[in-house]
Amino acid sequence: MLLNDLALFVRVADCGSISAAAAEMDLSAASASAAIKRLEKQLDTSLFVRTTRSLRLTAQGERYLIHCRRALSDLALGEQAIASDKGKVSGTLSLSVSSDFGRNLFVPWLDDFLLDFPQLQVRLHLGDNVSSFYHDKIDVAVRYGKPQDSNQVAFPICTADRVLCASPEYLAKFGKPETLEQLTQHNCLFYKLDERTHDQWQFERDGQEYKIRVTGNRSANDAEIARRWAVAGKGLVFKSSLDLAEDIMAGRLVPLLPEYRGEPVNLYLVCPGREHVTPVVLLLREMLRQQTQTLSRALATYLKAETQFNSH
């Protein structure tokens, strides 16, 4: 049984098309079709149900796919372990990262990471909608919130509270809200993920939780746009302190109602399964933990200094 045939079988299953999988693997459609038939002959079973318009896995194919994925992942893990033992990290890593965190923080961190591991290649997918690990060929994702799928492996990176902010220009024009109730009198900026608009903001003070439904004239399916609108003076934004930290420390955004703690959000590094936890993934996890900790400390130091300055 040829290893390339197994890899082709997995790609055909993911693509739902022999020709599409063949194109990805730089094969002719005829060669790919022959490889699938060869694999089916060796197994003495049909792996796909073929019609003129579609291609889908048989029950035997679905069961076999699970073992093929595991076998290919184990081989890749072995190769990574050998490379790691030799002091080298190589190969290709496909990463999915949320838009704002990805563009403004992760990309510069990744640049430094690749300087340490020049033989590593990365494919970066930016976007707020959760990518499909198998369909989009994602090896690891960096996401806010723990995944619901118990088969996925989620490494906690850090916890960052959401922070309520507005630009100095907006506050000069419309004033600062002094209470949570006054948020309903301001233009609030939203982002919409998975068909859910984040227009209910949650806070905590002295052990009591508060939920405020706010309104505004702008919403986007990209969370970075909400931040950009806030910096441009278009309204109030409520996002992770990681996403807003550099704007706050640069004076582009001003934190509001500091006596209230914003809803905490957890950042995770997620793999589709334990077999995907390679040495490079573990190195990436440690890099993310160090970088987010450094940024969080810098923001805390800045806010403390600002509080002391304003109290005098």
Residues 252 and 125: beta-carbon distance below 8 Å: no
CA proximity to 69, closest of 167, 126, 151, 142: 151
CA–CA gap between residue 310 and residue 129 (Å, rounded): 40
Per-residue confidence (pLDDT) for residue 86, from 0 to 100: 46
Torsion of CA 299, 304, 309, 312, to 10 degrees: 160
| 218-220/189-193 β-pairing | parallel
pLDDT of residue 312: 55
Residue bearing the bigger pLDDT, 200 or 88:
200
Q: With beta carbons less than 8 A apart as the criterion, state whether 113 and 122 touch.
A: no
Question: Nearest to residue 78, comparing CAs of 297, 298, 301, 278?
Answer: 278
Band (83; pLDDT cuts 50, 70, 90): low
How confident is the model over 192-201, as pLDDT tens digits? 776 677 889 9
Q: Are residues 144 and 258 in contact, defined by beta-carbon separation less than 8 angstroms?
A: no
Q: Is the separation of the CB atoms in 191 and 225 below 8 Å?
A: yes
pLDDT at 88: 65
Q: Which of 46-50, 136-140, 181-185, 228-232 has the lowest mean pLDDT?
A: 136-140
Least confident of 114-118, 189-193, 256-260: 189-193
106 within 8 A of 142, measured Cβ to Cβ: yes
Tokens 């806030």 sit at which residue? Answer: 230
CA distance 237 to 41: 59
Rounded CA gap, 262 and 123, in Å? 33
- Region 304-311: mean pLDDT is 75
Task: Read off the pLDDT of residues 7-35 as tens digits, 9 standing for 90 and up.
Answer: 899 889 888 889 888 888 888 989 999 99
pTM of the model: 0.71
Find the mean pLDDT for residues 176-185.
95
